[in-house]
Amino acid sequence: MAPSQQIGASIPNNTPHAVSVTLPTWEATVGYERGEDWVVKKMNSGYPRFFIHGKIQELCSLVEEKYGREGEKVFIFPSYNVAKRCREFIKEKTKTTPLPSIRILQLSTPKPKNKDEETYRSEAKIAVVFLPQSEWTFAKQYWQHSGEGISSRLGEYVLQELKILSNDLFQDTDKEYKTFIEEKFGRNLNLSFASEAKIALKRRIAGNLGDHDEEITKNNRKINENDVYLVPTGMASIFTSHQIVLNTLTPLKKSVCFGFPYVDTLNILKKFGPGVHFFGFGDDDSLNELETLLANGEKIQAFYCECPSNPLLKTPNLIKIKELSDKYKFPVIVDETVGNFLNIDVIPYVDIVVSSLTKVFSGDSNVMAGSLVLNPSSQFYSIFKKYLDENFEDLFWAEDAIYLERNSRDFKSRSIKVNSNSELTVQLLKSSPLIKELYYPTEVPSRKYYDQIKTKDGGYGGLISIVFHSENVAKTFFNELNLSKGPSLGTNFTLCCPYAILAHYEELDEVEKWGVDRNLVRISVGLEESNELLSVFENALNLAALQA
């Protein structure tokens, strides 16, 4: 299927719960960031933490109409505890005095009455936050940063059940047909298998994290499925890890963010808790700087980094970080989404591994999910485990678990193909005189640190970032690429975006201080036939050369 070049269309095409959205040109990406009508009015889809899905918007309208008071807006979360956290966040950030009135309403759908109903019905609980219009921005921030909003499939399910309950003549035959097609031809499980799907996912993750070499059993660090926690989004895994360290380790201190990270990781550390020490370069000099800080008596809450980082593909020195962690008694939390746990084995050096399963683990770009894994050998294991035993809520919606289980069955073979395609793409791009900088784990100074944690059969992942000598060349190259163009990464198809424009449009000068060029193009390599993929890149480079 040809990639869509239509502004606002879902990626993949015609996918009701798509994770990405088409922004086919540089100009469209800028227009989207500026909120220009010619782009925004065409957006039928979007990345779910930034764009509230149509089914969730419909559910919000229905709940507002039925239960709302004048001037109230609503946000919907999957549990009362999440709704309370949202309310606390708003009250902490608001400038309104007196504090705004924010109320929470809990709703649930009926349980299945019999075995037959269990195949298509599951009790779903939601918590609705009613707030004044003036506080909408803060609620949206919580939704985006925490990743704890309801999923579009949960929204769709609750909407359907509420309409049935309100005696609406509601029969979505299209939905029934899609479900039939999915289950009959898509190898999908029905809802009654959701708990089995979750167990299968935890085992798949535990196995991939724990089976890289024979030393595992000697070091007693075999990962158990009970140490794997599934959450609704990758961001929720980072947010949950932060909640763990804020609620178990006192007194509260600033955390460390090491290396230039994905935007909302830094937002979480800045906006929740006592703040952050930001070491944006994430290199050896930064680590020496941190070591000096610690030696001078500064204590930290936790250490966060990506492995490798998005979008500059730097790998931190985890061996040295582990030594500092042992000496100064702070937990290390690593987001290995970009590397993925088939390519790298970070467990020996960390206390918590967080991942976005939305990315290469799923590949199909039609479901959001995340995982958090405790290292059983961690010095903090018992207190973190106790906290989770007492406080963790399973908010991962049944239908999303079923889709993710299906999507991830061929995770290994896909990862191998992505690695292979990426290495060929890197060789092609390296040979182009148009490109000033190329970022990939093998092409940056921190390669030695990546190689220390690379698994025996692992590769270097699917993410590549490039900077051209001129802005015009960058724009032409991007606009001429006949590939999917939009947010996200780790998809089964190659997906590109002008990353700094998309993620940091309001702070382009600031991010350039940390080495992220405003015209950086990020490429997430997919599963296309190698020669075809390379010819698409060659064609775009040839057309861009005319602008040089």
Answer yes or no: are the C-beta atoms of 481 and 474 closer than 8 Å. no
Answer yes or no: are the C-beta atoms of 235 and 267 closer than 8 Å. no
Answer yes or no: are the C-beta atoms of 316 and 282 closer than 8 Å. yes
Q: Rounded to whole angstroms, what are the CA distances from 499 to 280, 298, 364, 489?
A: 17, 34, 21, 11
At the topology level, CATH places domain 200-409 in Aspartate Aminotransferase; domain 2 (3.40.640)
Tokens of 482: 């006949």
How far is it, in rounded angstroms, from Cα 21 to Cα 26? Answer: 14
Largest CA distance in the chain: 69
How far is it, in rounded angstroms, from Cα 100 to Cα 87? Answer: 10
Indicate whether this model's pTM tops 0.75: yes
54-185: which CATH architecture? Answer: 2-Layer Sandwich (3.30)
How far is it, in rounded angstroms, from Cα 131 to Cα 136? Answer: 7
How far is it, in rounded angstroms, from Cα 318 to Cα 339? Answer: 14
Instruction: Determine the pLDDT at residue 166.
Output: 65
How far is it, in rounded angstroms, from Cα 45 to Cα 10? Answer: 5
How far is it, in rounded angstroms, from Cα 485 to Cα 39? Answer: 14
How many Cβ atoms sit within 10 Å of the Cβ of residue 40? 14
Q: Rounded to whole angstroms, what are the CA distances from 40 to 37, 44, 283?
A: 5, 9, 38
Residues of the chain with pLDDT under 50: 168-174, 177, 180-188, 214-219
Among positive and negative, which fits the CA dihedral 63, 68, 73, 78? negative
Instruction: Determine the pLDDT at residue 374.
Output: 97
Residue whose structure tokens are 């406080």: 391
Selection from 298, 292, 296, 307 nearest residue 275 by Cα = 298
Instruction: Determine the pLDDT at residue 221.
Output: 54
Identity of the amino acid at 528: E
Instruction: Determine the pLDDT at residue 184.
Output: 41
How far is it, in rounded angstroms, from Cα 463 to Cα 312? Answer: 9
Q: What are phi and psi of 485, to 5 degrees?
A: -135, 120
Tokens of 541: 């480079």
How many Cβ atoms sit within 10 Å of the Cβ of residue 448? 9
Residue 19, Cα to own-chain centre: how many angstroms?
10
DSSP H stretches of helix in 252-397: 263-271, 284-295, 318-328, 381-391
Strands 303-306 and 463-468: unpaired
How far is it, in rounded angstroms, from Cα 199 to Cα 402? Answer: 11
Tokens of 236: 């929720």
Q: How many residues does the chain have?
A: 548
How many Cβ atoms sit within 10 Å of the Cβ of residue 225? 17
Tokens of 369: 């999910």
Identity of the amino acid at 172: D
How far is it, in rounded angstroms, from Cα 436 to Cα 477? Answer: 14
All structural domains of the chain with their residue ranges = 54-185, 200-409, 411-545
How far is it, in rounded angstroms, from Cα 317 to Cα 453? Answer: 10
How many Cβ atoms sit within 10 Å of the Cβ of residue 107? 18
How far is it, in rounded angstroms, from Cα 511 to Cα 500? Answer: 8
Selection from 280, 203, 188, 273 nearest residue 238 by Cα = 273
What is the separation, in whole angstroms, between the first and last Cα of the chain?
Answer: 32
Instruction: Determine the pLDDT at residue 180.
Output: 45
3-state secondary structure 480-528: HCCCEECCCCCCCCCEEECHHHHHHHHHHHHHHCCCCCCCCEEEECCCC
Instruction: Determine the pLDDT at residue 538.
Output: 97
Q: Rounded to whole angstroms, what are the CA distances from 35 to 40, 43, 52?
A: 6, 11, 15
Residue whose structure tokens are 């944006």: 280
411-545: which CATH architecture? Answer: Alpha-Beta Complex (3.90)
Cβ-count burial 272-293 (b if 16+ within 10 Å, e if not): bbeebbbbbbbbeebbeebbeb
